[in-house]
Chains A and B, each alone.
Chain A
Amino acid sequence: MKTIRIVTHSVKVIIFSMLLSTTAPASDYPAAGNSQKGAKVWADNCGRCHNIRGAMELRDDQWISTVYHMRLRAGLTGQESRDVLTFLQGSNTPVHEQVNARTDTSVQSARSGKSIYNQTCIACHGADGRGSLPGVPDFLSSKSPLAKNDAILLNNIINGIQSPGSLMAMPPKGGNPNLTHADLKAVLKYLHQTFK
């Protein structure tokens, strides 16, 4: 009985202190999050229980309810949920651009290909390039997609691609619509240098 009383009291204290920290809902709902952090949270958590659904499988409004539902199921924080939502909705942003890798004269990226890879691509492709999620291609295998020419690769990165046999499509620009052509060219260069 004493144990029950102690636990009951502790629960009351926790509930009270948590309720005190209640904040008003965001006025700019759904508040924007960080797409790059969202990609990482998405890759790290969705597969804890179920096969990961592709980032482009639902409409933007459908993702809102789905993410809030999963916030409760997976124990995500509010910020993590907003980050994931930003990533998923960003993945739905169509690009439809064709870029000629040889003639593209976009200015050089201010960021290194490594930093862009580590912030955006790493969520699915992994630090070692072998893919951290089921269905993501292995950059080091004999069937590596990096064997394709740069023009094809760049267009695939910009517009997204559903690889034959893969259960999940790569979203345009890896789900980060803020990346420029110069950023993507820098990433491509980094991929070739790192995953030979």
Chain B
Amino acid sequence: MQLKQAYLNKVMAGILLALPVNAMADATYDTLRNQVEALQKQLQDVQQSLDNYQHKSTSKRKFSALEKKVAQAAEWKTPNTLIHMSGYADVGYTDSKNTNGSFNLGSFSPIFHFQYRDLVMLESELEFEVEPDGGTSVALEYLTVDLFLNDYVALVAGKFLSPIGQFRQNLHPSWVNKLPSAVPGFGHDGAAPVSDVGLQLRGGFPINRMRTNYAIYIANGPELNAEWDGTGFELDGTNAEGFGSDRDGKKVIGGRFAVLPIPKLEFGISAATGKATVTKIEDDLGTAPAIVIGAEQRRDYDVLGFDMSWQYRGLNIRGEYVQTKIGSDNSTGVTASPGGKWTAWYAQIAYQFLPGKYEAVIRYADFNTPHPSVDQKQTTIGLNYLFANNVIGKLAYEINKGLSGSTTDENRILFQLAYGF
């Protein structure tokens, strides 16, 4: 009993002693819990800060990489040297009464530009063509080094498209020409010179509210062809396609001056003069006497041309006239023969139906030469579909009047798909 009582006393004493200890333990627990919660909060804040830092760091890296890419891309926007390629190509189909219809590859004409700042540009156009026999021909249409001397003058040196008139220098590319065929007399056949090798100054300047543009040149000039008919020579034609030598030793000078009294209305006058001599003979009979280059007399060579164009919304009207006169050779030269005159002109009206993609075209052309087999009067009507402003499908019908039985007298239907790039 005594032992039991003593035990109970101890327990009671322990409980009494423990009560304040428990109270103290609760306070410590609360403090510790608060501290732990505060630490957890601080840890979360640290974690959040760390996450933010990592995110910012990643963004910064991405931004730096992007900045570098942009800087690299910007390098190409304004480099001192630019390399650029454009050009045009066309494919087509041609059919006429006396000739089998054929698909044909018109040409592939890449144009290269190499430019150094606003000081100089090298321009060159090649012309690849598939011949009827399947072969491929390549020609250098032009190659010039253009020095931009000031705001009004550029010096063009090399082989350049003839600035006589408009068709040759600006309108002959297939995606620009509104019909599938070149104008008779303005192609590689006739009255208008095609290209020349020499120096040219060109540019434009305003006169009050009127605009003007000009080109003047000095060049090697053309060479002449003579034809042997079994008894004598006659002048066959002018070969004005940019010769790299001046066989007659006399330069040709010429140019064009145009005014635009109001925007989109242009009148131009062209002229060239110089000397040319026969360097080639056409001899189907094989009996022509040999000629000595340089021994033939120089003949007068004179070109005169006029052109106009006008655009009003979907309407486009243009016309052009050019004549080439070759003087006679009255000397004792082997090919001595009378001179001749080649003239060609055309008028063209095109109308683009708005806002659609169809364009109707009608053109009349007249080409007169000393040779009836070449003379031609041509009326062409065409309908174009513009897949894009530089991708054009053309369908045209040519009504040709020439020497009966010759190809110049055959009507033709032509289709062409032209792409300017």
Chain A CB within 8 A of B183 CB:
no
The answer on a CB contact under 8 Å between B150 and A78 is: yes
Are A65 and B121 in contact, CB atoms less than 8 angstroms apart? yes
Residue in A3, A73, A77 whose CB lies within 8 Å of B152: A77
CB <8 Å contact, B264 and A135: no
Binds B, one of A103-111, A126-134, A151-159, A177-185: A126-134
Nearest CB of chain A from residue B270's CB, rounded to whole Å: 13
Nearest opposing residue in chain A for B309, CB measure: A48
Q: Mask for B171-190, Cβ within 8 A of A = 1, else 0?
A: 10101100000000000000
A131:B356 contact, CB within 8 angstroms:
no
Cα distance A78–B409 when bound, in Å? 47
Given A48-B264, A61-B79, A69-B113: A54 and B355 within 8 A (CB)? Answer: no
Choose one: B153, B263, B314; the contact of A18 (CB below 8 Å).
B153
- Do the beta carbons of A4 and B273 come within 8 Å of each other? yes
A75 and B152 CA atoms in complex are apart in Å by 9
> CB within 8 Å of B: which of A158-192?
163, 165-168
What's the least CB distance linking A136 to chain B, in Å?
8
Contact B153 A75 (CB under 8 A): no
- Report the bound CA distance from A45 to B264 in whole Å: 7
Instruction: Give Cα A51–Cα B314 distance, bound, in whole angstroms.
Output: 10
Q: How far is the CA of A166 from the CA of B356 in the complex (A)?
A: 7
Q: Which residues in B have their C-beta under 8 angstroms from that of A44?
A: 263-264
Q: Is the CB of B118 within 8 A of A29?
A: yes
**Cβ of B82: which chain A residues have Cβ within 8 Å of it?**
61, 64-65
CA distance A30 to B119 in the complex (A): 11
Q: A49-B176, A65-B121, A68-B115 are in contact. Are A131 and B313 (CB under 8 A)?
A: yes
Given A68-B115, A68-B148, A72-B146, check contact A51 B213 (CB 8 Å): no
Contact B314 A134 (CB under 8 A): yes
Residues of A within 8 A of B212 (CB): 75
Are A60 and B77 within 8 A (Cβ)?
yes
Task: With both chains docked as a complex, state the minimum distance between the C-beta of A101 and any C-beta of chain B, in angstroms.
Answer: 26
Taking CB atoms, residues of chain B closer than 8 Å to A73 are 169-170
- Chain B CB within 8 A of A95 CB: no
B304-332 near A? 1/0 per residue, CB < 8 Å? 00000101011010000000000000000
Least Cβ–Cβ distance between B166 and chain A, in angstroms: 8
User: Is B94 close to A, CB under 8 A?
Assistant: no
Q: Does B117 contact A (CB under 8 A)?
A: yes
Interface string of A79-97 (1 = CB under 8 A from B): 1100000000000000000
A69 touches B123 (CB 8 A): yes
Query: Which of B169, B206, B356 touches A77 (beta carbons < 8 Å)?
Result: B206
Segment 380-421 of B: residues with Cβ below 8 Å from A: 386, 388-390, 392, 420
Is B156 an interface residue when CB atoms closer than 8 A count as contact?
Answer: yes
* Chain B residues, Cβ within 8 Å of A77: 151-152, 203-206
Q: Is B225 an interface residue (CB 8 A)?
A: no
B226 adjacent to chain A (CB < 8 Å): no
A136-156 near B? 1/0 per residue, CB < 8 Å:
111000000000000000000
A77 CA to B201 CA in the complex, in Å? 13
Contact of B76 among A26, A52, A61, A71 (CB under 8 A): A61
B79's closest neighbor in chain A, by CB? A61
Q: Contact between B78 and A53 (Cβ–Cβ < 8 Å)?
A: no
For the complex, would chain B's binding face be called helix, strand, loop or mixed by DSSP majority?
strand
Chain A proximity of B335: nearest CB distance (Å): 23
B129 interface residue, CB < 8 Å from A?
no
- Name the CB-closest residue of A to B250: A4
Given A7-B253, A31-B118, A75-B214: A18 touches B313 (CB 8 Å cut-off)? no
**A173–B216 Cα gap in the complex (Å)?**
40
Known: A11-B253, A167-B388. A75 touches B204 (CB 8 A): yes
Residue of A18, A80, A135 touching B355 (CB-CB under 8 A):
A135
Cα–Cα distance between A62 and B253 once the two chains are bound (Å): 34
In the bound complex, CA of A52 to CA of B389 (Å)? 7
What residues on A are CB-neighbors of B152 within 8 Å? 18, 21, 77-78
Q: Which of B148, B171, B309, B357 has the most CB of A within 10 A?
A: B148
B148's nearest neighbour on chain A, judged by CB, is: A78
A4 to B156, CA, bound (A): 22
> Digit string of A11-44 for contact with B (CB within 8 Å is 1, else 0)?
1001100110111011001110000000000001
Decide if B86 touches A66 in the complex (CB within 8 Å).
yes
A53 touches B390 (CB 8 A): yes
Write the residues of chain A forming the contact surface with B, with a CB cutoff of 8 angstroms: 3-4, 7-8, 11, 14-15, 18-19, 21-23, 25-26, 29-31, 44-45, 47-54, 60-62, 64-66, 68-69, 71-80, 130-138, 163, 165-168
Beyond A51-B386, A167-B389, 15 additional pairs, beta carbon < 8 A = A7-B253, A7-B273, A11-B255, A15-B201, A31-B118, A60-B77, A61-B76, A65-B82, A68-B115, A69-B86, A76-B204, A77-B206, A134-B352, A166-B355, A167-B386
B: which residues have CB within 8 A of A?
Answer: 76-80, 82, 84, 86, 111, 113, 115, 117-119, 121, 123, 146, 148-154, 156, 166, 169-171, 173, 175-176, 201-206, 211-216, 218, 253, 255, 258, 263-264, 266, 273-274, 309, 311, 313-314, 316, 352, 354-357, 386, 388-390, 392, 420
26 examples of A-B residue contacts, CB within 8 angstroms? A3-B273, A11-B255, A14-B216, A18-B201, A23-B151, A25-B117, A29-B78, A29-B118, A47-B264, A48-B309, A49-B170, A49-B176, A51-B392, A53-B390, A61-B79, A64-B82, A65-B84, A69-B86, A71-B148, A72-B123, A73-B169, A75-B203, A77-B205, A132-B313, A135-B355, A167-B389
Nearest 7 Cβ contacts at the A-B interface: A75-B213, A78-B151, A75-B204, A65-B84, A51-B389, A44-B263, A65-B113
